[in-house]
Chain A
Amino acid sequence: MEDSKERVSQIVDHIMKNCLWQFHSRAWDRLRQNENILGMTAKILLDEKVEIKTPDDKCYWVDAVCLADACRKKFSWISSSSREELADVMASLKERMDFLTVTGSLNEELTDKHY
């Protein structure tokens, strides 16, 4: 359990210091980004097929590939984890990112209806 929390925290730290996609302007934007990019990252790490149907999908995929590459390079536990462990970490990661960037965020502009 502790291991899983620590692993999530390592990836969160990497995302926060190196990525920008998690900080789009509005809550709905951020949920969409987290869902798609982290969802695709999980699939890439689990060697599952990623479907790219639209230009937007391609953008999510690009960020997902870079995140998956960075995770493999930085965190040796990725290669030694079982599929179940990895899937759990990625699900918790999504939950944590949603909290930090949307549900627990103190950014008052997230609920603005317009861009």
Chain B
Amino acid sequence: MPYHLFKCSQCIPEREKHAVIKGPGEDLSMALPLGYLNTIPGSISERGCAYCGAKHVIGTPMKDVIHLSHGPVGCTYDTWQTKRYISDNDNFQLKYTFASDMKEKHIVFGAERLLKDNIKEAFKAFPGIKRMTIYQTCASALIGDDINAIAAEIMEDMPEVDIFVCNSPGFGGPSQSGGHHKINIAWINQKVGTVEPEITSDYVINYVGEYNIQGDQEVMQDYFKRMGIQVLSTFTGNGSYDDLRAMHRAHLNVLECARSAEYICNELRVRYGIPRLDIDGFGFEPLSSSLRKIGLFFGIEDRAQAIIDEETAKWKPELDWYKERLKGKKVCLWPGGSKLWHWAHAIHAEMGVDVVSVYTKFGHQGDMEKGISRCEEGALAIDDPNELEGLEAMETLKPDCIFTGKRPGEVAKKIRVPYLNAHAYHNGPWKGFEGWVRFARDIYNAIYSPVHQLSLVDIRTDEAIGDAGFATRKSFSDANLPEEVKNSETLREYTGKYSIIPDLQAKTHPEFARREPEPAAV
């Protein structure tokens, strides 16, 4: 696998070892992009900071908590307008965002008093919320405010509240990944083991590395409940603060995003002996295999199989409708960390698209190992790309669609490449069987949108003038399809609702009898 130096990065030759092309017959021992290193000066990275990785990715999806940043108000920028980790308590954690609003004078004279007043004010404003997380920022870290001491004082004065402190300033790592690590370790050190939960099932899991993007967690939780499994906690999407304090009582850690949350799983394994099972919630085959594995672990594989059979029968004809129309389309998987490997193979095998490039903004070399292994030959793999490299890759590879964040996504639009939001989704959830069909529908809509087709017309030319007639997505997608596919009676477009989460939240799940406790030894 040769390294690849972009033309636009020839003035930054260190970038060469951050990209490789997967050649025929080549394997991971031949080349692997460097990863999780400080961004090279001169390269305009798309990364976030370590504070962002701790708070905005992992901390804030916790739903019943006041999330307070001890720093300038700008540090709280990411909330309901950029993030889509919803919750079943009316999205409290998205609707309200808190900052101590540090100013220059606080940098000079200290901001501990300011923080203490802010904490009291926030609890007073929301008397129903008794849990808080406080995030250090660059500003409060540099002046050395002792946030832990302030939190301890408050908890002494207000015994009904509990506060978690995360010391992960923006400069605390090369990217947001540094913050993922810090908050994982801080949570297990400070909070795990401080609450004893009620166990209601013989099968108890922590669902880890799942952030409930547009309802992903609720989709997966539905499957687990249908299997009679108690989801003791979710780390952290739609997760409850006190449930997460009780993680030590689970029988199994089911790990989804290993990039952001393997640390806490590994520590739970070392400290409490809870094993870690990595799963994939995206794609029919990977998800089926994941449910089967969890079922096997608990000896309830028949329950898993019943769900797999029912969901596959219901949704596969719809997935295949899109597959027929997406076959051979070229896509770039350019997410943040884990989705490059969650999606790389499943999207090719089950939707028929060709993944021509994978990149990761903040992933480690381990993520690239997984991603490169799962994509086909010829794919270009890039670590920590800059905007010009992204543009050059799109001009060279000519993808039909890219899956990335909204900043590089808007850049793609400017050169008329449609994009889907890989972090927050377009019309999610994308997890689960139905979710995977919704993802396929979003890709189809992006690629065949008549508006996108119009954007490709150069209106400066005479040919652009005239009556092209009325066009629909289907008139583009079905133009060259065989008649038997076009008129198939088994394949069909997505039939689900606009939003599938309210029904899941209102659903009643079956109750399974628990095993009789074994008699105590005499």
Q: Which residues of A contact B (CB under 8 A)?
A: 16-18, 20-21, 23-25, 29, 54-56, 58-59, 61-63, 65-66, 99-101, 104-109, 115
22 pairs from A and B in contact (CB 8 Å cutoff): A16-B374, A17-B373, A18-B286, A20-B258, A20-B280, A23-B366, A25-B262, A55-B251, A55-B274, A55-B275, A58-B297, A63-B293, A65-B296, A66-B293, A104-B29, A105-B29, A105-B32, A105-B369, A106-B29, A107-B32, A109-B366, A115-B267
Q: Does the CB pair A66–B365 fall under 8 Å?
A: no
A63: chain B residues at CB < 8 Å are 277, 293
Known: A66-B293, A105-B28, A109-B366. 19 other contacts (CB 8 A): A18-B289, A20-B258, A20-B280, A20-B370, A25-B262, A56-B269, A58-B275, A59-B252, A62-B293, A62-B297, A66-B292, A100-B29, A101-B369, A104-B28, A105-B369, A107-B364, A107-B369, A115-B262, A115-B270
Closest to A100 in B: B28
Most buried by A among B267, B274, B366: B366
A21 to B369, CA, bound (A): 12
- Are A59's CB and B28's CB within 8 A? no
* Contact between chains at B365 and A109 (CB < 8 Å): yes
In the complex with contacts A109-B364, A109-B366, A62-B29 CB distance below 8 A: no
Interface centre among A23, A25, A109 (most CB of B within 10 A): A23
The digit string for B256-294, where 1 denotes a CB below 8 A from any CB of A, is 001000110011011001111111100001100100110
Q: Tell me if B36 and A109 are in contact (CB < 8 A).
A: yes
Check: B27 CB closer than 8 A to any chain A CB.
yes
B107 at the interface (CB under 8 A from A): no
Are A99 and B345 in contact, with the CB atoms below 8 A? no
- Cβ of B154: which chain A residues have Cβ within 8 Å of it? none
Task: Say yes or no: B262 contacts A20, CB within 8 Å.
Answer: no
Contacts of A105 in B (CB 8 A): 28-29, 32, 369
* Binary per-residue interface labels of chain B (227-268) against chain A in the complex, 1 for a CB within 8 Å, 0 otherwise: 000000000000000000000000110000010001100110
The DSSP consensus for interface residues of chain A is helix
| B31 close to A (CB within 8 Å) | yes
Nearest B residue to A69 via CB reads B292
Give chain B residues whose Cβ lies under 8 Å from the Cβ of A20: 258, 278-280, 341, 370
Measured in the bound complex, the distance between the Cα atoms of B369 and A105 in whole Å is: 9
Chain B residue with minimal CB distance to A108? B365
**Across the interface, do A55 and B252 meet the contact criterion of CB distance under 8 Å?**
yes
Q: A105-B29, A115-B266 are in contact. Are A62 and B277 (CB under 8 A)?
A: yes
Which of A61, A104, A106, A115 has a CB less than 8 Å from the CB of B263? A115
Q: Which residues of B contact A106 (CB under 8 A)?
A: 28-29, 31-32, 365
Nearest-neighbour CB distance to chain B for A96, whole angstroms, equals: 9
Residues of B within 8 A of A99 (CB): 29
Partner pick for A25 among B274, B297, B366, CB 8 A cutoff: B366
Q: Which residues of B contact A59 (CB under 8 A)?
A: 252, 275-277, 297
Give CA–CA (A55, B286) in the complex, Å.
23
Chain B residues lying within 8 Å of A29, measured Cβ to Cβ, are: 266
A18 to B280, CA, bound (A): 9
Given contacts A105-B29, A109-B365, contact A25 B374 (CB under 8 A): no
> Could you tell me if B258 and A107 are in contact, using CB atoms closer than 8 angstroms?
no
6 closest A-B pairs by CB = A104-B29, A16-B373, A20-B278, A106-B32, A59-B275, A107-B365
Q: State A115–B32 Cα separation when bound (angstroms).
A: 21
In the bound complex, residues from chain B placing their C-beta under 8 Å from that of A107 are 32, 364-366, 369
Instruction: Check A25 against B266 for contact (C-beta < 8 Å).
Output: yes
B27 interface neighbour in A55, A58, A100, Cβ under 8 Å: A100
Bound Cα distance from A61 to B293, whole angstroms: 9
- What separation, in Å, do the CA atoms of A99 and B274 have in the docked complex? 28
Name B's A-contacting residues (CB within 8 A): 27-29, 31-32, 34, 36, 251-252, 258, 262-263, 266-267, 269-270, 273-280, 285-286, 289, 292-293, 296-297, 341, 345, 364-366, 369-370, 373-374
Residues of B within 8 A of A16 (CB): 373-374
- CA–CA, A115 to B207, complex, Å? 20
Smallest CB gap from A16: residue in B: B373
Complex CA distance for A69 and B141, rounded to whole angstroms: 52
CA distance A108 to B364 in the complex (A): 10
- Looking at the assembled complex, report how far the CB atom of A12 sits from the nearest CB atom of chain B, in whole angstroms: 9
Chain A nearest Cβ from B340, distance in angstroms: 13
A residues within 8 A CB of B34?
108
B34 to chain A, nearest CB (A): 8
CB distance from B188 to the nearest CB of A (A): 11
Q: Which residues of B contact A23 (CB under 8 A)?
A: 258, 366, 369-370
**Chain B min CB distance to A104 (Å):** 4
Contacts of A56 in B (CB 8 A): 269, 273, 275
Once bound together, how far apart are the Cα atoms of A9 and B423, in whole Å? 34
Find the B residue at minimum CB distance from A55. B275
CA distance A16 to B370 in the complex (A): 7
Residue in A21, A25, A62, A65 whose Cβ sees the most chain B Cβ within 10 Å = A62
CB-defined contacts of A17 to chain B, threshold 8 Å: 345, 373-374
Q: How far is the CA of A70 from the CA of B258 in the complex (A)?
A: 23
Residue numbers in B under 8 Å from A108 (CB-CB): 34, 365
- Distance in Å from the Cβ of B431 to the closest Cβ of chain A? 16
A59 to B266, CA, bound (A): 14
The distance from the CB of B99 to the nearest CB of chain A, in whole angstroms, is 31
Instruction: Output the residue of B262, B275, B364 with the most chain A CB within 10 A.
Output: B275
CA distance A108 to B373 in the complex (A): 17
Q: Report the Cα distance A56→B280, complex, angstroms.
A: 19
B269: chain A residues within 8 A (beta carbon): 56
CA distance A85 to B512 in the complex (A): 45
